[in-house]
Structures are given as structure tokens and as C-alpha cells.
Structure 1
Amino acid sequence: MTSGEVDLSVQEFLKELPSFSKKGITEFALHDKKISSDKSALAEICRAVKKSAPDLFLTLQIAVSALDKNLVHLLQDIYCSIEIPLSGTEKGANLLFDKKIYSSKAQMLNTEGLVFGFDMAYGIQPGDSFKAFRDRLDFAVTLYPNHIDFAQLQGKMVLPRSTGIYSSKDLEFSREMAFACQTFYSAGRAVPWFNSVVKSLKISPTAFFADFSEWQRCNNCSLDSDFRPDDAKQIDVEKMQLNFLKQKYEEKHKSMLYDAAADMVRLNGAFSRMVAEGEESIVETRYNPDDILSPYSMDIARFAESATMESCRVKIFSTDEGPDYEIIGS
């Protein structure tokens, strides 16, 4: 499998597209800020990919303002992941952030089953502050993005400078929090269960990431270590997640909720590996997987209080219709 990521004009991309199959290119990331808000250009790309490279997995940057029902229907016809810049609007000395538009567009994408993530930054736009960054990140997680990326962590943006409202210490906190999010949420493929976990712990996402960044420092896997989440296997990140969650539930005097949360982590992790890596798994759970994978489990506290424990050995496997599971023992 070959992938590519390069800044191309729409014309260059469309010209090269028919040759992708012969070149063995099966994944491609197209980042062109000029067309990210151009609905007609984005529609042209979708139609061209469907016609000339129907098996291509395309990562496409799209401004939130460009997302509408017509474009979403075209995106459904191709294999793609949508990257949405999540940023505020500068007005005077203030940084305004329209939660309503992001919420409505994310709901539309989730309803239609499209994969999307957010591109975020901190301390770059005038008027930004540590409080504003935390507010954006807390909000972003509630919209169930598949991942949240921070180009600053890869050195792809100019590093922010401290201001009167964003101190150098807070910029460092933001950097560590972003890396914690990249590790736990994105690399850990936590989207199906993360909001349920933080709700059961009665903690905000950013407070959770701040605590996890401290855990990373203590366990030699912080940003300043050699650990890189993008290079780590999901199963290894999952072990980190489970170790940290066990600690957090104990710290919050909610140990009775850990087994249900751990089952959610393990089962969803196994499904993600089946989809992404084609890897079958056998998972041992404390609850019946039918219950854990039902909407009933989304409220972990209520679930743990009323559900009956039933130790199971669960096999996750592939079918023609996608990943599935069966109980193979107890």
C-alpha cells in the first residue's frame, strides 16, 4: 500500500488521479487551503475520485462553512476522512468561536456515517488564551470526532509566543495537553467511549488530558520522551489507557465502575483493530458483550449499578458485512 501527502492544486490532483491505481497509491491526503471552502471544487474532486480512483482513501481538508447536504452526499460516494480546521474568528482583540455551526455540521456528519476529525491549534490566533483553548478542546470532544490533530506537535506550524493573556507556562500546559489528547484519544481510538468515561468520572475532557499528561511524564511516554503515539500499536496504547483509567477510578473512589469501562475499551479496541489492521482478537470481559455494546452502557454509572456481571470470552472476527463478535466461552 502506498500513500501520499503533498500540496497540489486541484488541477494537478485531477490530472494525476487516473494514474494513482497504476502507481499503487491507495491513500492520499490533499491539503489545499484554497479549495477547502470552495464547494464547487470539492464537489469536482469527489466526482473525479469516484470515477477515476474509486478505491482511493482520500483525506480531504474541508472548512466547516463548506459542509452542506449536497457535499456530504458526494462524500458518501467515496472512501474518505474529512479534516475540519477548528478555530475561532478574530474580531478586534477577541477570538470568537461559533459552537453552533460546528455542532450542527458534526451532527450531520455523524448521522451520515462519515469519518471526520478536527485540526486544532493553541496560542496562534490573536486573542487566544489557555481558557479559550481548553474550552475549544472540551467542546470538540463532545462532537465525537474520529481524531483531533495538532500540527504544532509535528512542527508544521510556527510555534506560539506568550502574550499578556497566554503565558509561556500555559503554552507548555497546552502543548502537553494536546499530546495527551493525541495519545489517549486519537491514537487510542477512544471516540466510541471517551465521553462516557469522562462523564462517569465527573471530570472535563481537558482536566482528564491534563491528568493523563502527568501520568505520561511519570511513565516515560511524554512528548519529551522517545514515545510517539502515531508510531505505537493501538494495543499498546490501550494498555496505557487501561492502566490510567484504573488509577483514575480508584482516585475518584469509583472502582466499581472500572470493569464496565474496561470492557468498553477492550471491545471497541478489538473492533478497531479488526477494521484497521485486519486483526482478529479474543477479549475477556466481565459483562456480556451484548450489554456492553448496547446504548444502555453509555451511562457507565447506571449500567454498573443495574447490569449483571457475566464473564465472557469474546472473539472479534471479520465477515463480508464487517466486523462481528461471538461469545466462545466464559
Structure 2
Amino acid sequence: MVHGTLRVAFLHAPAAASLESAQTPGFGQALGAASVAAALIGAGLCAPSDLLALSADAYPEDQPFLARIEAFNPDIVGFSLYSWNSARLVKIAHALRERGYAGFIIAGGPDAEGLALIDDKKGIFDAIFLGEAEREFIGWIESVRNATGRKDPCGEAIRCSAPDLAKIPSPWLTGLFDLKPGASIAWELTRGCPYRCAYCYEGRGSDRLRPMPAPRLEKELEVFLEKEVAEVFVLDPTFNVQNNRALEILAFLRKKAGSRVHWNFEVRAELLNPAQVKAFAALPCFLQIGLQSSDAQVLAGIGRTLDRGKFVENCRLLDSQGVVFGLDLIYGLPGDSLGGFLKSLDFALSLAPNHLDIFGLSVLPGTELWEKREELGLDAENEPPYALRSHYSSPGRQGFSESDMAEAREIAQATDYFYSKGRAVPWFKAVVEASGMKASAWLKGFSCFEGYERQANPRHGDIEEAQIGWARTVFGQPGPKARFASLATDMIRYFGAWSRALAEGEKTILSLAYHPETIELAASAGLARLIRNPNFQRQPCKAEIGPSRKGPILRLLK
């Protein structure tokens, strides 16, 4: 039984270290868990000192992790489950029970759905909360307190209704995050999503958009600025779905934060308009756009649409205004094939995104795809992250075999290395066009290149050498394309040095076969067009590219 003030431990694990690195150990990225913790404090059930938040990533070994939990002596241990952390955290919950922990064990988070539906270990949990749990968790505690005896854990699933956001306390204003200067954080402006994408967890929740109260957002932003937060990832699934609200928020951020914070938004390309783009351009920000596929028929099968003309038009508009954006693709979608994925890759790269995030399909429990997996012929893992192994062919489509999935994965990894981590966007299109290859063929070839050394955290200089090695391989074959080799090499080195001066503050001295003006012209006009010019010629020189207060600076050396 639970009486008096509670002691509660919340366990989580981040998707990536980037949002954690500037913060002390605590809730980290686990904003959902922190919101539930703030609700406990608001209900008077505990004080901040009665809460413990631990990231599993801080404990590579299970024994120290378990010992730390037990030393806190919590009444309740809550697990914040996502597809990337469920396997380890459920294992920890099971180990707690085996070691004799007699308190309550609960679970929440997106992958709580998978635990409730298919995990045979769910019986060690006293309750599994599905959805926004701030209100139901408080109610569950009251029911446990009023019960006449302790029930055996049974993995009871509690479907939560959407709370009134004006009545739930803010974890940022409750002091649950110990922010340090330079921190990167996640911020929630709105809950709900009007779209019903078949593969997505968001499609299970409310389709009613519920904004956080403006006074709360104003106070939270004041905290971020006071603590010198450097970067904010806005969690709204589609930030620009309501045009007027998006413009109001962007104006508010511009007025209050100026250039002190870098912002990251997820937007829908077709909903962009000149006013939005102008407002985004006034902020230091990055936009992520979910393309997923360029095939309208494939998209229709997962509850999405694509206005191809509008998509291209608005991406061009972003580019013209200097707004940095990236695109998402998914391989393995129902009705798609390896060939279809490669066409989507070509389409995405034709828009020159700053980077391209490519994911293999996960058939997440509780989503529409999971419910229709047999009908659609989806063969996926039953354990997190529920990765698709293959799917059967459909009329007029080849489907994705296991070998197709493996090949798509290799191409996706090569694209991330060569294009995104390689910062190739300034020169990629011009160089690939000169080769006569499609972008997908270029990257597929690179994925098999012996000079491509797969590394978890490669240095940009190492990537650049691999890029040059592949370009020389392509252009080094006897024939008319051979004349592009040295210019392509100069372009890769020149723009690579420029990116390092901007990102790392690094100075590079280059020995170039062509003058920098020629290199920049080649990137915009194309190598083939430039070389056909009768006045085109080599002009060997040395150049220094380095950082300055106003950005990278070029200096020609004698």
C-alpha cells in the first residue's frame, strides 16, 4: 500500500546523446515522464526531493543501475518506454522483481502500447499507462491508496484521456530540469495531430490540436533564456498545420529570443507559404520535412498525400530565403519496392536538402500498420524496434524481400555518410550530373566502394577523403568524363573546408587546380557547361579558408 508522501523513480533512456550532453543527469529528454512528475508535485503527492530520474545510458551495466534504484527506496518505479529503449528497460523491471522489490512498477511512453499488446513480461507491471498520463496516474495512485489490499501485478492497461493542458503543471516551471548553459532541450507547444499516418504513434492519439496556454509558454521561454539554452527541438508533429498560430509563435520567438536560441521544427512542406517562410528566415532555425516517399500511391496506402508540385515549389522557396531544411524517407513501406525507394531518393536529393534522414519501416504495436500487418503481408520483428524484415509483393509491385531491405539499409547508411555527414549539398548535384549517373546510382555505387570505411562518428576530413576517392573512381575511367576529375576534387575540398570553418572553426590551406570563383561557378552552373566554355582553363592557386566573426573567410595565398 502507498501512504503519505511518495518516493518515485523515473527511468528512461535517450534516443541520442545530443540532447543530453549539456545537461546534468536527470529527466534529460524524457519530457513525458517529467510532465507526470510535475503532476505529482502539483497534486501534493511528493516534493522534488522525493523524485529520482535516471537515464539507463548512464549505467552501461545492469547491476549498478539496479543498485542505484534500490538505494533510493522508491514506492513507485516508472519506466518511460520507447522503441529504442524498451528491451533494456523491461529487462531492468524484471530484474527488480527478481531481486525482491515489493513496490509498484508502472510503465508509460509510446512503446507502452507494445508492452501491453505483445510482451509476456507485462505481468510484472502494476499498471501500463497508454497516452497522456498526467491525470490518470494521479487517479490510479488514489485508487491504490484506497484499496483494501495489494493486488498482484497483472499488467493492467489504462487508456488515458487527453487532459486539460491549462490544468497540468509545467515540468520546466516546477524546477525538474537542471539546465546548464548551452543545453539542447525538447519543448512542447501543442498536443494532438490532425493526420492519421498508418505507421505513426501520433495517429493513435487525439486529432484535436490542443495548444499549451500562452502564459505558460512565455514563462518557459523566460527560463530557457535565463539558463542560456542554446537549442530547442519543438515537439509539435506538424508545427505549421495552423497558419495563424505558427506565425504568432514565430513572431513571439523572434521578439523574445532573437538570435540567442537555435530552433528546430517539423513542418509539412505543402502547408508552407511566403509569410511562413519569411518568418522562419528571421529566426536561426532548421526545418525537418517528412516526405517518406515520392510515390503518391504508396503514400495513399499509409494515410498520407503528396502535392508534388507544391512540395517542390515550397522547398525551392525555403532555399531561396536561406532557410535550412532536411527531408525524411522511409524504405519498406507497403506497396513500395527497392526500385520505388531509389526513385524517392532521387526526388529527395533533387531538392538539395541540407541532410536526408532515411529510416527502415518499423511496424509499431497499436498503429494501423500493426493491426493490418497480416493483410498487408508485413513480416516484422515482435521485439523493439519492430523492424520490418520483408513484405510480400502486391499487384503491380515487387515488394521488399529481406535482401532488398538489406540493400536499402546499406544505401541509406551510405547516403547519411556521404551526403549528410559529408556536408555535400553545395556541390553534390553538379558533380553527380557531370557523371551522367542518377543520385541513387552514385550513392549505391559508393556503398560498395572499398574506400568507404563505416564508422560510428567519422571525422569530416575522413569523409572528404572517401568522397574524393569515389569521385576519382567515377571520373577516372577513360573517356570524356575524365576531364571532370580535378574540378570535382577541388569542389569537394573547397566546400568541405568552408563547412569546417563554419561548424568547427577550423582553418584549412588548399592547393587548388582552379580559382575559387571557378569552383563556385561550377557548383551553380554545372561542371559540363563550364568546361564547354572556350575560355575555361585551369588556374592553380593556394587558398586559406578559416573562421571569422562574420562566418568563413577566404584568403588567396601567393
Q: TM-score range by the shorter chain?
A: 0.7 to 0.9
Q: Which moved more, 1:162-171 or 1:311-320?
A: 311-320
2:345: which partner in 1? 137
Q: How far off is 1:161 after superposition? A: 3.9
Moved over 4 A (4+): 12-15, 92-97, 151-158
Q: Find the aligned partners of 2:491 and 2:250 in 1 and give their Cα distance.
A: 35
Aligned to 1:86, the other structure's residue is in SS state strand
Structure 2 residue 327 is the aligned partner of structure 1 residue 118? yes
Contact 2:522 2:530 in 1 (8 A): no
Q: Find the aligned partners of 1:161 and 1:64 in 2 and give their Cα distance.
A: 30
CA-based RMSD of the aligned residues comes to 2.8
Contact 1:120 1:150 in 2 (8 A): yes
Q: Find the aligned partners of 1:65 and 1:94 in 2 and give their Cα distance.
A: 16
Deviation per CA, 1:36-69: give whole Å up to 9, x if none: 5232343233123212222111111111122111
Q: Which moved more, 1:273-282 or 1:12-21?
A: 12-21
Q: Find the aligned partners of 1:182 and 1:166 in 2 and give their Cα distance.
A: 21
Change (3 A) 1:147 1:153: farther
2:354: which partner in 1? 146
Q: What amino acid is the match of 1:206?
A: S
Q: How far off is 1:141 after superposition? A: 0.8
2:538: which partner in 1? 309
Aligned pair partner of 1:176 in 396, 410, 423: 410
Name the % identity.
Answer: 28
Q: Within 5 A, what are the aligned runs for 1:209-288?
A: 209-215=443-449, 218-219=450-451, 221-222=453-454, 227-228=455-456, 231-251=457-477, 253=479, 254-288=481-515
Structure 2 residue 267 is the aligned partner of structure 1 residue 39? no
Q: How far off is 1:35 after superposition? A: 3.5
2:188: which partner in 1? 8
Q: Find the aligned partners of 1:249 and 1:285 in 2 and give their Cα distance.
A: 18
TM-score by length of 1: 0.87
Q: Which moved more, 1:289-298 or 1:70-79?
A: 289-298
Q: How far off is 1:243 after superposition? A: 1.1
Aligned to 1:145, the other structure's residue is in SS state coil
Contact 1:87 1:97 in 2 (8 A): no
1:328: which partner in 2? 557
Structure 2 residue 276 is the aligned partner of structure 1 residue 71? yes
Aligned to 1:322, the other structure's residue is in SS state coil
Q: What amino acid is the match of 2:182?
A: T
Contact 1:281 1:317 in 2 (8 A): yes
Q: What amino acid is the match of 1:221?
A: E
Q: Which runs of 5+ in 1 are unaligned?
A: none
Q: What amino acid is the match of 1:235?
A: G
Structure 2 residue 521 is the aligned partner of structure 1 residue 294? yes
Q: What amino acid is the match of 1:239?
A: E
Q: Which moved more, 1:256-265 or 1:80-89?
A: 80-89
Contact 1:29 1:59 in 2 (8 A): yes
Q: Find the aligned partners of 1:246 and 1:107 in 2 and give their Cα distance.
A: 31
Q: Find the aligned partners of 2:291 and 2:254 in 1 and give their Cα distance.
A: 27
Aligned to 1:150, the other structure's residue is in SS state strand
Structure 2 residue 232 is the aligned partner of structure 1 residue 28? yes
Q: Find the aligned partners of 1:144 and 1:285 in 2 and give their Cα distance.
A: 25
Aligned pair partner of 1:159 in 387, 404, 412: 387
Aligned to 1:25, the other structure's residue is in SS state coil
Q: Which runs of 5+ in 2 are unaligned?
A: 1-180, 191-211, 365-383, 394-398
TM-score by length of 2: 0.53
Change (3 A) 1:3 1:102: farther
How many residue pairs are counted as aligned between the two chains? Answer: 320
Deviation per CA, 1:102-149: give whole Å up to 9, x if none: 21011111111111110221113x322222211111011111111111
Aligned to 2:224, the other structure's residue is in SS state helix
Q: What amino acid is the match of 2:230?
A: T
Contact 2:238 2:267 in 1 (8 A): no
